[in-house]
Amino acid sequence: MNLDKNFLVPFIQNALAEDVGDGDHTSLSTIPQGQQGKAKLLIKDSGIIAGIEVALEIFKVVDPALRVEIFFSDGQTVKPGDIIFFVSGSVHSILKAERLVLNTMQRMSGIATKTNSIVKILEDTNTKVLDTRKTTPGLRYLEKLSVIIGGGVNHRFGLYDMILIKDNHVDYAGGIYNAIHSVHDYLKVKQLSISVEIEVRNLQELMQVIEIGSVDRILLDNFDFLTLKKAVDLINGSFVTEASGGITENNVLEYAKCGVDYVSMGALTHSVRSLDMSLKAVNS
């Protein structure tokens, strides 16, 4: 896995500065400088592990002399009692890295686990699950990486890598026709080559988009199952289709059975339970 070091290193440095401040006074006052030790990352939940590669970078930034012995890879299934890795070296360094490693891996593993549960539900369909921009500010890269580790697909990363004309854009632009044509004028002037998606709220708006064309994907937002199936039939493969709005683990299969290419779920990143794990000292 090729991590984005341009994001990761500043993220780690900022997180450590936030946590450590002018020093880990508890460790400095209770443990002699230079004491060596070992710790294990112990799993307490069943799920998909994510963030191991990130943890390695955290240890490297904290103390390049720390040594890590790894037994699992990102994306593997884990269960209570599993040991993901041992880390050994300066006890002060291990304790300095501990909370950041746990916070990162617990959240990433929670997202990967939730995503993987959706992927398994959809495995007998042709529908893929997408994430959204409903992410934690400053953590989008890690949260979207977790979706990939769990087997999902990333939607646009931000406002810059895809055009998604949503309901507010349509309303402010004065309608679907104006919005689509303004987008293509803009792309031409800026000499940009990025995908264009448009959200529709009903079959009437859908018919306008089908007539106008000039988009790559249609987002069918808050459609009931009957209307969604009609919409997919009307599109008839002419555009990539995506369903969103109110999609949960309990109803995602019904949405997929309507024939959409993608379902997008904000819950993958904004409403997950972190996977329980701990970093425990090993007495040798």
By annotation, the residues acting in catalysis are 99, 134, 166, 199, 221
Contact in structure between 62 and 89 (CB atoms under 8 Å): no
Q: Distance (Å, rounded) from C-alpha 37 to C-alpha 21?
A: 23
CB 249 within 8 A of CB 118: yes
Distance set, CA 117 to CA 77, 103, 114, 262, 281 (Å): 12, 21, 5, 16, 32
Whether 48 and 78 have beta carbons less than 8 Å apart is answered as yes
- In whole angstroms, give the CA distance from residue 68 to residue 138: 27
Q: How far is residue 121's CA from residue 246's CA, in Å, rounded to a whole number?
A: 17
